Protein backbone atom coordinates (compact mmCIF):
# COMPACT_ATOMS: atom_id res chain seq x y z
CA UNK A 1 0.00 0.00 0.00
CA UNK A 2 1.26 3.45 -0.89
CA UNK A 3 2.27 5.48 2.14
CA UNK A 4 1.64 9.20 2.53
CA UNK A 5 2.39 11.86 5.09
CA UNK A 6 -0.75 13.74 6.06
CA UNK A 7 -1.32 17.10 7.71
CA UNK A 8 -4.67 18.40 8.85
CA UNK A 9 -5.93 21.88 9.63
CA UNK A 10 -7.04 23.10 13.06
CA UNK A 11 -10.08 21.28 14.41
CA UNK A 12 -13.37 23.04 13.73
CA UNK A 13 -12.19 25.02 10.69
CA UNK A 14 -13.52 24.43 7.20
CA UNK A 15 -10.92 22.92 4.89
CA UNK A 16 -9.94 25.57 2.36
CA UNK A 17 -8.41 23.26 -0.24
CA UNK A 18 -6.22 20.22 -0.85
CA UNK A 19 -2.47 20.32 -1.46
CA UNK A 20 -0.43 17.38 -2.76
CA UNK A 21 3.33 17.81 -2.40
CA UNK A 22 5.70 15.99 -4.78
CA UNK A 23 9.32 15.94 -3.51
CA UNK A 24 12.40 16.12 -5.71
CA UNK A 25 15.68 14.27 -6.16
CA UNK A 26 16.87 12.52 -3.03
CA UNK A 27 14.09 13.93 -0.85
CA UNK A 28 11.64 12.14 1.43
CA UNK A 29 8.29 12.90 3.04
CA UNK A 30 10.15 14.27 6.06
CA UNK A 31 11.85 16.91 3.91
CA UNK A 32 8.51 18.75 3.75
CA UNK A 33 7.25 18.27 7.31
CA UNK A 34 7.74 21.92 8.23
CA UNK A 35 6.18 23.20 5.01
CA UNK A 36 3.25 20.79 5.25
CA UNK A 37 2.48 21.80 8.82
CA UNK A 38 2.58 25.47 7.92
CA UNK A 39 0.07 25.11 5.08
CA UNK A 40 -2.14 22.90 7.24
CA UNK A 41 -2.18 25.58 9.93
CA UNK A 42 -3.95 27.79 7.36
CA UNK A 43 -6.70 25.13 7.08
CA UNK A 44 -5.40 23.36 3.97
CA UNK A 45 -5.47 19.56 3.77
CA UNK A 46 -1.91 18.53 2.92
CA UNK A 47 -0.61 15.19 1.72
CA UNK A 48 3.00 14.40 0.78
CA UNK A 49 3.61 11.61 -1.75
CA UNK A 50 6.76 9.74 -2.71
CA UNK A 51 9.22 11.49 -4.99
CA UNK A 52 9.02 10.26 -8.60
CA UNK A 53 11.87 8.27 -10.11
CA UNK A 54 11.85 9.75 -13.59
CA UNK A 55 14.21 7.07 -14.89
CA UNK A 56 11.86 4.22 -14.01
CA UNK A 57 8.37 5.64 -13.40
CA UNK A 58 6.19 6.44 -16.38
CA UNK A 59 4.47 9.80 -16.05
CA UNK A 60 1.12 8.13 -16.71
CA UNK A 61 1.76 6.00 -13.63
CA UNK A 62 2.69 9.11 -11.66
CA UNK A 63 -0.56 10.79 -12.74
CA UNK A 64 -2.52 7.77 -11.56
CA UNK A 65 -0.62 7.79 -8.28
CA UNK A 66 -1.49 11.44 -7.71
CA UNK A 67 -5.14 10.81 -8.56
CA UNK A 68 -5.19 8.01 -6.01
CA UNK A 69 -3.51 10.21 -3.42
CA UNK A 70 -6.18 12.89 -3.84
CA UNK A 71 -9.16 10.55 -3.69
CA UNK A 72 -9.59 10.02 0.03
CA UNK A 73 -8.28 13.28 1.42
CA UNK A 74 -11.80 14.38 2.41
CA UNK A 75 -14.00 12.73 5.01
CA UNK A 76 -16.62 11.79 2.39
CA UNK A 77 -14.00 10.10 0.18
CA UNK A 78 -13.97 13.11 -2.14
CA UNK A 79 -11.51 15.97 -2.53
CA UNK A 80 -11.90 19.53 -1.32
CA UNK A 81 -11.22 21.99 -4.12
CA UNK A 82 -9.13 23.78 -5.09
CA UNK A 83 -6.76 20.89 -5.59
CA UNK A 84 -3.20 22.16 -5.88
CA UNK A 85 -0.06 20.22 -6.80
CA UNK A 86 3.20 21.47 -5.31
CA UNK A 87 6.33 20.07 -6.93
CA UNK A 88 9.95 20.66 -5.95
CA UNK A 89 13.03 20.11 -8.14
CA UNK A 90 12.38 17.01 -10.31
CA UNK A 91 8.93 16.82 -8.70
CA UNK A 92 8.23 20.28 -10.14
CA UNK A 93 9.36 19.14 -13.59
CA UNK A 94 7.11 16.08 -13.40
CA UNK A 95 4.09 18.09 -12.23
CA UNK A 96 4.56 20.67 -14.97
CA UNK A 97 4.81 17.96 -17.62
CA UNK A 98 1.59 16.31 -16.46
CA UNK A 99 -0.45 19.45 -17.06
CA UNK A 100 -0.58 18.89 -20.81
CA UNK A 101 -1.44 15.21 -20.54
CA UNK A 102 -4.72 13.32 -20.37
CA UNK A 103 -6.01 11.49 -18.44
CA UNK A 104 -4.81 12.05 -14.91
CA UNK A 105 -5.23 14.26 -11.92
CA UNK A 106 -6.64 17.64 -12.92
CA UNK A 107 -5.38 20.27 -10.49
CA UNK A 108 -6.91 23.71 -10.12
CA UNK A 109 -3.41 25.18 -9.77
CA UNK A 110 0.23 24.17 -9.40
CA UNK A 111 3.27 25.46 -7.53
CA UNK A 112 6.62 24.71 -9.17
CA UNK A 113 9.52 25.27 -6.76
CA UNK A 114 13.17 25.03 -7.74
CA UNK A 115 12.54 23.83 -11.28
CA UNK A 116 15.96 22.64 -12.53
CA UNK A 117 17.53 24.37 -15.50
CA UNK A 118 18.00 22.66 -18.86
CA UNK A 119 21.46 23.94 -19.79
CA UNK A 120 24.70 22.14 -18.75
CA UNK A 121 25.70 25.14 -16.64
CA UNK A 122 22.79 24.59 -14.31
CA UNK A 123 23.62 21.03 -13.23
CA UNK A 124 25.30 20.10 -9.96
CA UNK A 125 28.74 18.55 -9.86
CA UNK A 126 29.80 15.69 -7.63
CA UNK A 127 31.23 16.83 -4.32
CA UNK A 128 31.00 16.37 -0.59
CA UNK A 129 27.77 16.29 1.36
CA UNK A 130 28.49 19.76 2.76
CA UNK A 131 28.89 21.06 -0.80
CA UNK A 132 25.55 19.53 -1.77
CA UNK A 133 23.96 21.14 1.27
CA UNK A 134 25.42 24.50 0.19
CA UNK A 135 23.60 24.12 -3.13
CA UNK A 136 20.37 23.19 -1.38
CA UNK A 137 20.03 25.55 1.56
CA UNK A 138 21.60 27.91 4.08
CA UNK A 139 18.99 27.06 6.73
CA UNK A 140 20.70 25.21 9.62
CA UNK A 141 17.45 23.48 10.59
CA UNK A 142 16.89 22.14 7.08
CA UNK A 143 20.56 21.15 6.71
CA UNK A 144 20.24 19.19 9.94
CA UNK A 145 16.98 17.57 8.87
CA UNK A 146 18.51 16.39 5.58
CA UNK A 147 21.66 15.15 7.29
CA UNK A 148 19.80 13.22 9.99
CA UNK A 149 17.30 11.60 7.61
CA UNK A 150 18.75 8.18 6.70
CA UNK A 151 16.45 7.90 3.66
CA UNK A 152 17.74 11.06 1.96
CA UNK A 153 19.88 10.03 -1.02
CA UNK A 154 23.12 11.97 -0.92
CA UNK A 155 24.55 13.02 -4.27
CA UNK A 156 21.11 12.91 -5.88
CA UNK A 157 21.36 16.40 -7.37
CA UNK A 158 23.87 14.96 -9.85
CA UNK A 159 21.16 12.68 -11.24
CA UNK A 160 20.06 14.02 -14.63
CA UNK A 161 16.43 14.99 -15.03
CA UNK A 162 15.34 13.62 -18.45
CA UNK A 163 15.44 16.30 -21.14
CA UNK A 164 12.03 15.24 -22.41
CA UNK A 165 10.54 16.04 -19.01
CA UNK A 166 12.36 19.36 -18.59
CA UNK A 167 11.53 20.37 -22.16
CA UNK A 168 7.84 19.67 -21.67
CA UNK A 169 7.88 21.53 -18.35
CA UNK A 170 9.45 24.69 -19.77
CA UNK A 171 7.55 24.64 -23.06
CA UNK A 172 4.09 24.04 -21.58
CA UNK A 173 1.40 26.53 -22.56
CA UNK A 174 -0.98 25.31 -19.88
CA UNK A 175 -3.82 27.54 -18.73
CA UNK A 176 -3.67 26.03 -15.23
CA UNK A 177 -2.76 28.81 -12.76
CA UNK A 178 0.92 28.42 -11.92
CA UNK A 179 3.20 29.84 -9.23
CA UNK A 180 6.88 29.51 -10.11
CA UNK A 181 9.19 29.85 -7.09
CA UNK A 182 12.96 30.23 -7.40
CA UNK A 183 15.77 31.44 -5.18
CA UNK A 184 18.01 34.09 -6.68
CA UNK A 185 20.99 32.19 -5.20
CA UNK A 186 19.94 28.85 -6.75
CA UNK A 187 22.91 27.63 -8.84
CA UNK A 188 20.74 25.02 -10.57
CA UNK A 189 18.16 27.51 -11.86
CA UNK A 190 17.94 29.02 -15.33
CA UNK A 191 16.38 32.36 -14.45
CA UNK A 192 15.98 33.53 -18.03
CA UNK A 193 14.16 30.32 -19.00
CA UNK A 194 11.92 30.60 -15.94
CA UNK A 195 10.97 34.15 -16.84
CA UNK A 196 10.12 33.02 -20.37
CA UNK A 197 8.11 30.07 -19.02
CA UNK A 198 6.09 32.41 -16.81
CA UNK A 199 5.33 34.76 -19.71
CA UNK A 200 4.31 31.90 -22.01
CA UNK A 201 1.62 30.64 -19.63
CA UNK A 202 -1.84 32.15 -19.58
CA UNK A 203 -1.97 32.47 -15.76
CA UNK A 204 1.46 32.39 -14.18
CA UNK A 205 3.27 34.19 -11.40
CA UNK A 206 7.06 34.11 -10.96
CA UNK A 207 8.26 34.79 -7.42
CA UNK A 208 12.01 35.22 -6.88
CA UNK A 209 13.14 34.71 -3.29
CA UNK A 210 16.09 36.88 -2.35
CA UNK A 211 19.00 34.92 -0.92
CA UNK A 212 17.31 31.53 -1.30
CA UNK A 213 19.07 28.47 -2.71
CA UNK A 214 17.76 25.42 -4.58
CA UNK A 215 15.50 24.11 -1.79
CA UNK A 216 13.47 27.31 -1.95
CA UNK A 217 10.60 25.88 0.13
CA UNK A 218 13.01 25.03 2.94
CA UNK A 219 15.66 27.75 3.00
CA UNK A 220 16.13 30.55 5.54
CA UNK A 221 13.18 32.39 3.97
CA UNK A 222 10.77 29.45 4.48
CA UNK A 223 8.20 31.52 6.41
CA UNK A 224 7.97 34.15 3.67
CA UNK A 225 7.86 31.45 0.99
CA UNK A 226 5.04 29.59 2.74
CA UNK A 227 3.18 32.90 3.04
CA UNK A 228 3.67 33.49 -0.68
CA UNK A 229 2.23 30.05 -1.43
CA UNK A 230 -0.79 30.67 0.82
CA UNK A 231 -1.33 34.07 -0.81
CA UNK A 232 -1.33 32.37 -4.21
CA UNK A 233 -3.78 29.72 -2.97
CA UNK A 234 -6.12 32.40 -1.70
CA UNK A 235 -6.14 34.20 -5.06
CA UNK A 236 -7.71 31.09 -6.61
CA UNK A 237 -11.00 32.24 -5.07
CA UNK A 238 -10.66 35.70 -6.55
CA UNK A 239 -9.84 35.10 -10.24
CA UNK A 240 -6.10 35.14 -9.38
CA UNK A 241 -6.30 38.74 -8.19
CA UNK A 242 -4.46 39.51 -4.94
CA UNK A 243 -6.82 40.17 -2.06
CA UNK A 244 -4.46 42.78 -0.59
CA UNK A 245 -2.88 45.74 -2.36
CA UNK A 246 0.29 47.02 -0.67
CA UNK A 247 1.40 50.63 -0.87
CA UNK A 248 4.39 51.64 1.20
CA UNK A 249 6.75 54.55 1.62
CA UNK A 250 9.61 52.07 2.03
CA UNK A 251 10.40 52.04 -1.71
In this prediction, residue 181 has a pLDDT band, given cuts at 50, 70 and 90, of very high
Would you say residue 11 has pLDDT above 90? yes
Would you say residue 1 has pLDDT above 60? no
Cis peptide before 141 (omega within 30 of 0): no
Mean of pLDDT values over 43-58: 94
- How does the average pLDDT of the chain come out, rounded? 92
Number of other residues whose CB lies within 10 A of the CB of residue 103: 9
d(CA 38, CA 43): 9
Cα-Cα-Cα-Cα dihedral sign, residues 121, 164, 181, 194: positive
Question: In this predicted structure, what is the pLDDT of residue 123?
Answer: 64
- List, in sequence order, every residue forming a beta bridge with 111; answer none if it has no partner: 86, 179
Question: In this predicted structure, what is the pLDDT of residue 165?
Answer: 94
- List, in sequence order, every residue forming a beta bridge with 86; answer none if it has no partner: 21, 111
Question: In this predicted structure, what is the pLDDT of residue 55?
Answer: 87
Mean of pLDDT values over 126-137: 92
Question: In this predicted structure, what is the pLDDT of residue 249?
Answer: 78
Would you say residue 229 has pLDDT above 80? yes
Mean of pLDDT values over 77-100: 93
In this prediction, residue 148 has a pLDDT band, given cuts at 50, 70 and 90, of very high
Candidate ranges 66-75, 118-127, 215-224; pick with highest mean pLDDT: 215-224
Spatial contact of 98 and 166, defined as CB atoms under 8 Å apart: no
Question: In this predicted structure, what is the pLDDT of residue 139?
Answer: 98
In this prediction, residue 248 has a pLDDT band, given cuts at 50, 70 and 90, of confident
Instruction: Average the pLDDT over each of 3-7, 103-107, 247-251 and give the range with the smallest value.
Output: 247-251
pTM for this prediction: 0.94
Question: In this predicted structure, what is the pLDDT of residue 121?
Answer: 59
d(CA 59, CA 243): 35
Spatial contact of 219 and 183, defined as CB atoms under 8 Å apart: yes
Instruction: Average the pLDDT over each of 64-68, 137-141, 170-174, 239-243 and give the range with the smallest value.
Output: 239-243
Would you say residue 251 has pLDDT above 70? no
Question: In this predicted structure, what is the pLDDT of residue 141?
Answer: 98
In this prediction, residue 2 has a pLDDT band, given cuts at 50, 70 and 90, of low
Question: In this predicted structure, what is the pLDDT of residue 240?
Answer: 82
Would you say residue 102 has pLDDT above 80? no
Amino acid sequence: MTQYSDYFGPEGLRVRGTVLIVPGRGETHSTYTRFGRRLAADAYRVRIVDAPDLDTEDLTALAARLSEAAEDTAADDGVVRPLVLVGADSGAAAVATLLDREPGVRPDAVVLAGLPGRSPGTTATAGTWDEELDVRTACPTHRGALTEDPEVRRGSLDEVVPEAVLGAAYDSKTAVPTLLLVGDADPLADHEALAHAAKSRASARLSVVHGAHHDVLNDLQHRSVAAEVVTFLETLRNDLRPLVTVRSSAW
